[in-house]
Amino acid sequence: MYLLYLDDSGSAANKSESHLVLGGICVHESQITRLSKALDDLALGFAPTTPDEIEFHASEIFNGRSAPWSSIADKTSRAALIKSVLKLVADASRSTCTFACAVHKDSFPDRDPMEIAFEDLCSRFDQKLRRIERRGEKQKGLIIVDESAYETSLQKLTQQFRTLGTRWNVIRNIADVPFFVDSKRSRCIQLADHIAYAVFRRYHASDTNYLDVILDRFDRDNGVLHGLSHKRSPGYKCSCPVCFGRATRGSARKGTRKGARHEPTD
Ligand SMILES: [Zn+2]
């Protein structure tokens, strides 16, 4: 079984943020213990006797306002710690990959950005499981979400998951409704938090420092990037890896014809 751990970054209601991101890590069940131990080992550096009390939360590390991150006065050192967490993802086994969906909120004024992102990632996760099945390996998937996102629209979406999943045609390989867990108790949710944050920094602040660490780990097939998506209106100009890749493939399909239309959101 593959588990997709998800967390959000950014707020649907915060007008000062252009994007909302839902993202995380897709892990085969056999790799969960190994990844969790790697983060446990990193926690030992901050609490040698009580590493379980250390929760890695990227925005809290970045801001450095709360313990134990407030003890790291240097902003560059805190940024390096976030990258160290992301490096664990970058160095994970080949069966592990990342997913994220960044939604440009103003492009969809009448829709809930969390619903857009959740639908997109459910579909992409199911597509990955179908590719694995075509290679002769039958695997089911399960989605696990940080419970702090429970009070958002994800709660409603989860209640409607079977109906929505049928409408989206994505529940074939996803075994059950999403489960919500306490991020303090799940190292993989903490990794998901860092992945969502890395993508959020890219789209909200044009800061690629964090996304660059894990960009190669987003789900791909035959060189095509499937694990990262950017939902925006066709008029929103963007050169992110998703939009650039689509524009490049669109140009290749259309030859060298001038005025090729920038493809709309996928
Ligand atoms: Zn883009």
For 139-167, letters b (16+ CB in 10 Å) and e give: bebbbbbbbebeebebeebbeebeebbee
CA of 139 to the centre of ligand 1 (A): 31
Ligand 1 centroid – CA 136 distance (Å): 34
pLDDT category at 11 given cuts 50, 70, 90 is confident
Gap from CA of 230 to ligand 1 centroid (Å): 5
| CA 180 vs CA 118, 145, 148, 232: distances in Å | 14, 5, 8, 28
* Distance in Å, CA 90 to ligand 1 centroid: 22
Q: For the chain, which domains are there?
A: 2-231 (3.30.420.10), 234-266 (no CATH)
The answer to whether 69 and 172 are in contact (CB under 8 A) is no
Taking the centre of ligand 1 as the mean of its atom positions, its distance from the CA of residue 64, in whole angstroms, is 29
Distance 257 CA to ligand 1 centre (A): 22
Please give the pLDDT value at position 205.
94
pLDDT digits (tens, 9 = 90+) for 229-266: 999 999 898 989 899 877 676 666 655 444 333 333 44
When mean pLDDT is compared across 40-54, 71-85, 111-125, 147-161, the lowest value belongs to 147-161
Quote the pLDDT of residue 213.
98
- pLDDT at residue 152, rounded to an integer: 61
Residue-wise pLDDT for 183-232, tens only, equals 989 999 999 999 999 999 999 999 999 999 999 999 999 989 999 999 99
CA 240 to ligand 1 center in whole angstroms: 4
Tell me the average pLDDT across 160-164: 77
Whether the pLDDT of residue 70 is over 80: the answer is: yes
C-alpha 190 – ligand 1 centre gap (Å): 25
